[in-house]
Amino acid sequence: MDWAQLKLFLPFLGVALSVSLHASDCILIHEAGQHVGETKCVTGKVLRIKVGAKGVHFLDFCEDQMACPFTVVVFPSGLKDVGDVRRLAGRTIEIHGAVKLYDGRAEMILNRISQITGGAAMIPPLPKNYDVENRGHYSAGHLRPTKKPAKTKATPSTTATYGNDVEGEDPP
């Protein structure tokens, strides 16, 4: 290979080397439990996104989430900065942050889009009318009826007068 060919090949070699070094910095989800208390990059394929109570989103990396060694949590307050995490389903992501222990499992809290690197970082923002408190239902000015309408009884007024029975006044 001569110098001209090498000059053409060097940029591609640099990108490949950069990608391989970057990928080696991340650990797999199964290794996250060994790094509790550390700031790490964890990589894995998001199988589905679950929405829990009060709009908390969970990124599931395993078929059986209860047996999974790692999870990512996005609180409703973080969705504004992170974006539409529902778009991460089916993607392999790299997430950077502090690995914490919760209920015997390693977890990471996602609260900034900058924690996700690679192509998965290009998720769109949440729709303006997305209501996290209403578990993902859109609420653009549309009010839903309650499940059981409140029944109100009209109570008769004790001060009401009927007919011409008003005391102290003469009829006109």
Give the pLDDT confidence of 63-101 residue by residue, as tens digits.
988 889 999 999 998 888 888 888 888 889 999 999 999
pLDDT score at 171: 58
Average model confidence (pLDDT) across the chain: 75
In whole angstroms, what is the distance from residue 146 CA to residue 163 CA?
40
In whole angstroms, what is the distance from residue 97 CA to residue 116 CA?
9
Examine residue 33 and state whether it is found in any structural domain, yes or no: yes
Give yes or no for residue 10 having a pLDDT over 50.
Answer: no
- Tell me the average pLDDT across 51-56: 87
Examine residue 53 and state whether it is found in any structural domain, yes or no: yes
Report pLDDT digits (tens) over 113-125: 889 986 566 676 6
Total count of domains within the chain: 1
Examine residue 76 and state whether it is found in any structural domain, yes or no: yes
pLDDT score at 46: 92
Domain CATH for 72: 2.40.50.140
- Identify how many contiguous H helices and E strands the chain contains and give both numbers: 2, 9
Examine residue 142 and state whether it is found in any structural domain, yes or no: no
pLDDT score at 126: 67
Range in 20-29, 43-52, 84-93 with the lowest mean pLDDT: 20-29
Examine residue 80 and state whether it is found in any structural domain, yes or no: yes
Examine residue 14 and state whether it is found in any structural domain, yes or no: no
pLDDT score at 101: 93
Give yes or no for residue 107 having a pLDDT over 90.
Answer: yes
Which contacts (CB < 8 Å, 24+ apart) does range 121-127 have? 123/82, 123/83, 123/84, 123/85, 123/87, 123/88, 124/83, 124/84, 124/87, 125/83, 125/84, 126/79, 126/80, 126/83, 126/84, 127/84
Examine residue 136 and state whether it is found in any structural domain, yes or no: no
Sign of CA dihedral 142, 145, 147, 150: positive
- Tell me the average pLDDT across 10-30: 58
Examine residue 115 and state whether it is found in any structural domain, yes or no: yes
Q: Range of 83's domain?
A: 23-127
